[in-house]
Amino acid sequence: MTDSTLKLPKPGSAPPAFAGIGRAWGRVSPSLVPALAVLTAILITIPFMILTGGRGDIGRGLNIAGTAYAALVEGAMGLAVNDQVSADDFALVTTLANASNGLSQGDLRELARAVNDYGAAGAENARAYQAALAAFSGLDEDALTDIGESVEGLRAIGAETLDAMLPLITELEAADRGDVRALAETIRGDGAITPESRAAVTALAPAAEALDDDTLFAYMRFVDEYGIVRLSRFPERLASLDEREIALDAPALTTLAALTAENVPVDLAGAARVAGVVERLEATAITDVGALSSQIAQLRGLYEGELLTVEDVSTAIRDQLPAALADNLIVRRPGDRLIIDRANAPFGAVLGDANTPDDPADDRIDVAYLRLPGAALLFFPANLESMIVRSIPFIIAGLAVALGFKAGLFNIGAEGQLYAGATVAVWVGFSPLFAQLPALIHIPLVIVAGIFGGALWGAIPGLLKAYTGAHEVIVTIMLNYIAVLIVDWLIKSTAPILLLDPTASTPRTPFIDAAAALPRFSTIPAWLFLLAGALTALFTFLTHRESIRQTPGAAVRPLALGVLVAGGGLFLQWIAVRNALHVGFVVMLLAVWFTDWFLSRTTLGFELRTVGANPDAARYAGMSVPRNIVLALAMSGALAGLAGTIEVSGVQLNMQPEFFSGLGFDAIAVALLARNNIRSMIAAGLLWGSLLTGAGLMQLRADISIDLVKIIQALIIMFIAADAIIRYLWAIPKTAEKTSVSTFSKGWGG
């Protein structure tokens, strides 16, 4: 008889489905620690945005965070999703145009300025501006400014006092202004009228003789505070107010004074524009002035794009706008800019402004798009190009630091090794000794020279570590300062001139020869990428022909690699719209491949890793620990020198003092982010470059300090170094992963 008793799970145990999810998470999550560290760092910064930018308003803070990180992605990857313009987007401006007695295209610019000023002032202030300017109708802007700037003084002195002062003011105005100013300063400094000062004032203005000491002192204090020239104009300003029956304490006068003060959001000209639209906005019950301003800006963009041509705005919106929206892709960008493509296609591209119809060579894509329901996925290739160019040195320098980690050495000297390699490379690049070399020889020579310079600088701490026991951390830190200062001296030295370009306005080396500069992807013929793909496929096929013979399906791999190489090259050429992406990207890929191959496939690489893991065991096995220490730091320096060489020969084409400030230390962060995994270095370097590249657009769009990126970077490194925090937050099993990061340092004694 079967037991049909229902078996319940033990108290506290997870249901089978959740247990399966937990086991799957335990297998997958350890490899996600770096990604989760990045995600956690991003999430932690959101509360800071709520408290600062949002000022405690959660909704506003989340909106700022969304804007910031969307801008960060767009600035780094070139990807953005923006809404398509629809007829509903012009509801407010349509209402305003219909209510106006004729609104023309020419009126839109002035209307946009007036609405922006209205939004800056606010509805209450806008009505005050209207009332104030109505009270002073007939006066030009200069006269209004004079009255506004006089309000403070008129109120401080008072009408009666000013009338009583008039004889004194008239006589002092006729005297020498320097004498009057000096006398007024003396009296105010004395704090009272002395017989000497009374005699001096009376000599300049006989009307002072009839005034007692206290009254004369008060009058001369006003002379000192406002100046006799300005003071002499006050009676005229007061008379103008009397004619208009405006009292000194009138609100209109207060408003006018505010409009003529410094650092005000709306000046007199803006107030006049505001006064002109107050009634129009209130008559149409438009309260969302920001939305109205945005719609006006978009409408002007449609006129500039010649999608609207009828002068009357109401007619253009009614008759032309529906067809314009149906026949064109019109996407609204931040800042109310429009992307317009007249091709009514599900996907396409818009060329840049520099494109000329008669020259296909300058066809550069500004943005590519994919239509979505009510929106469009946009891709700006220039942003991705900039990010890749900026990431290349981080990846190569990160390899340099990681190679040292593999040998159990903490190479903090990547900064100095960058300088050493770049200095040798830039000299080979501009020296007359190599000026006649063709690019096929000159470029490799520059790269080899940079590698040699970095290797030499890296070998110094290696030798000291291996044969004297000097700790590599101390030595490499000191060598950083030495390298930076030597380069500073070489470039700035004028007697004799060593590396300085005497024709430059700032200290720098001469530009390297054109034959020494790394080629740009945009200048490489497309057939070369196809040839590279075919050769890659052929090489892979030949090296794996035995396995392919046994398993014919394995032939897909060479074909896939060939397509990847050819397609990747063509894609990089397509995004090189700024002519900035250089073949240093290929050199970087080769450096990653070579470093991985050296460490995992060669005897020297095995010895190096063994020395890093256990130098005593390596010594017992007959491996030379000193030789491997020198080799590791020399190769680490060579990679750092290569990073510096790529930067000077591919980006700047010259070298300046403090050229690589901070790059070598960022390399440590990149190596840690990759968790010392050579193959992960590309992703880590691209992430680092993305943060730095997208920071500027993030600051512009969300009005957030660019230092937020530095905070994110610091949090990422903290979470990578102390991954127990991430493991706890994301419930990652403690024993599921054996860390791949070698021991950085064996102690101060070696």
Residue 737 — pLDDT band, cuts 50, 70, 90? very low
Quick one: pLDDT at residue 253?
Answer: 84
Q: What is the mean pLDDT of residues 549-565?
A: 87
Q: Which helix (H) or strand (E) holds 414?
A: helix 414-430
**Upper half-sphere CA count for residue 163 (Cβ side, 13 Å):** 5
Q: Which two tokens stand for residue 741?
A: 């990061």
Backbone φ and ψ for 344, nearest 5 degrees, come out as: -85, 75
Strand partners, 348: 369
Q: Which two tokens stand for residue 218?
A: 């008060």
Quick one: pLDDT at residue 7?
Answer: 53
Please give the mean pLDDT across all residues of the chain: 87
* Rg of the chain over all Cα atoms, to the nearest angstrom: 37
Residue 360 — pLDDT band, cuts 50, 70, 90? low
Question: Whose CA is closest to 66, among 78, 55, 84, 80?
Answer: 80
The more confident residue out of 323 and 546 is 323
Question: Whose CA is closest to 205, among 181, 172, 249?
Answer: 172
Cα(14)–Cα(443) distance, integer angstroms: 63
Q: What is the mean pLDDT of residues 435-461?
A: 95
Kindly state the percentage of the chain with pLDDT values over 90. 46
Quick one: pLDDT at residue 12?
Answer: 53
Quick one: pLDDT at residue 748?
Answer: 42
pLDDT tens, position by position, 150-194? 888 888 888 888 888 888 888 888 888 888 888 888 888 888 888
Residue 688 contacts residue 37 (beta carbons within 8 Å): no
Cα(583)–Cα(452) distance, integer angstroms: 20
CB atoms within 10 A of CB 183: 21
Q: What is the mean pLDDT of residues 240-259?
A: 85
Strand partners, 494: 497
Helix (H, G, I), strand (E, B) or coil at 407: coil
Backbone φ and ψ for 326, nearest 5 degrees, come out as: -75, -30
Residue 742 has pLDDT above 50, yes or no: no
The more confident residue out of 124 and 648 is 648
Residue 34 contacts residue 720 (beta carbons within 8 Å): yes
Q: Which residue bears the tokens 């253009």? A: 316
Give the least confident one: 18-32, 278-292, 442-456, 469-483. Answer: 18-32
Quick one: pLDDT at residue 361?
Answer: 55
Helix (H, G, I), strand (E, B) or coil at 577: coil
Cα(375)–Cα(723) distance, integer angstroms: 40
pLDDT tens, position by position, 712-729? 999 999 998 888 888 888
Give the least confident one: 367-371, 416-420, 469-473, 723-727. Answer: 723-727
The more confident residue out of 32 and 262 is 32
Q: Could you tell me the sign of the dihedral formed by the alpha carbons of 641, 642, 644, 649, in that order? A: positive
Q: What is the pTM of this model?
A: 0.84
Query: DSSP of 339-398, one letter per residue?
Result: EEE-S--SEEEEE-TT-BTTBGGG--EEEEEEEETTEEEEE-HHHHHHHHHHHHHHHHHH
Which residues in 109-167 belong to E strands, given as ranges?
Answer: none
Query: DSSP of 620-679, one letter per residue?
Result: HTT--HHHHHHHHHHHHHHHHHHHHHHHIIIIISS--TTTTTTHHHHHHHHHHHTTT-GG
Identity of the highest mean pLDDT range in 164-178, 284-298, 460-474: 460-474
Residue 528 has pLDDT above 70, yes or no: yes
The more confident residue out of 745 and 114 is 114
Cα(525)–Cα(513) distance, integer angstroms: 22
Q: Which residue bears the tokens 């070399």? A: 437
The more confident residue out of 1 and 47 is 47
| 122 CB-near residues (< 8 Å, 6+ apart) | none
Quick one: pLDDT at residue 10?
Answer: 57
Quick one: pLDDT at residue 145?
Answer: 83
Quick one: pLDDT at residue 11?
Answer: 56
Residue 446 has pLDDT above 60, yes or no: yes
Q: What is the mean pLDDT of residues 4-27?
A: 64
Residue 115 contacts residue 293 (beta carbons within 8 Å): yes
Quick one: pLDDT at residue 158?
Answer: 87
pLDDT tens, position by position, 570-599? 999 999 999 999 999 999 999 999 999 999
Question: Whose CA is closest to 745, among 469, 516, 530, 452?
Answer: 469
Q: Which residue bears the tokens 């897909």? A: 556
Residue 749 — pLDDT band, cuts 50, 70, 90? very low
Query: DSSP of 169-230, one letter per residue?
Result: HHHHHHS-HHHHHHHHHHHHHHTS--HHHHHHHHHH-GGGGGS-HHHHHHHHHHHHHH-HHH
Which residues in 363-506 belong to E strands, given as ranges?
Answer: 365-372, 375-379
Q: Which residue bears the tokens 């610019």? A: 109
Quick one: pLDDT at residue 115?
Answer: 87
End-to-end CA distance of the chain: 73
Residue 743 has pLDDT above 50, yes or no: no
Quick one: pLDDT at residue 283?
Answer: 83
Quick one: pLDDT at residue 74?
Answer: 94
The more confident residue out of 685 and 749 is 685
Cα(38)–Cα(35) distance, integer angstroms: 5
Residue 149 has pLDDT above 50, yes or no: yes
Q: Which two tokens stand for residue 380?
A: 């700006």
For β-strands 337-341 and 375-379, DSSP reports them as: unpaired
Strand partners, 497: 494
**Upper half-sphere CA count for residue 650 (Cβ side, 13 Å):** 29
Burial class of residue 492, CB neighbours in 10 A (0-12, 13-18, 19+): middle
Residue 333 has pLDDT above 50, yes or no: yes
Cα(730)–Cα(749) distance, integer angstroms: 38
Residue 645 has pLDDT above 90, yes or no: yes
Q: What is the mean pLDDT of residues 361-386?
A: 89
Residue 744 has pLDDT above 50, yes or no: no
Helix (H, G, I), strand (E, B) or coil at 732: coil
Residue 148 has pLDDT above 90, yes or no: no
Quick one: pLDDT at residue 122?
Answer: 84
Q: Which two tokens stand for residue 406?
A: 């593999």
- Report in angstroms the alpha-carbon separations of 408 from 51, 252, 396, 587: 43, 77, 19, 26
Quick one: pLDDT at residue 356?
Answer: 57
The more confident residue out of 556 and 462 is 462
Quick one: pLDDT at residue 570?
Answer: 94
Helix (H, G, I), strand (E, B) or coil at 337: strand
Cα(564)–Cα(585) distance, integer angstroms: 15
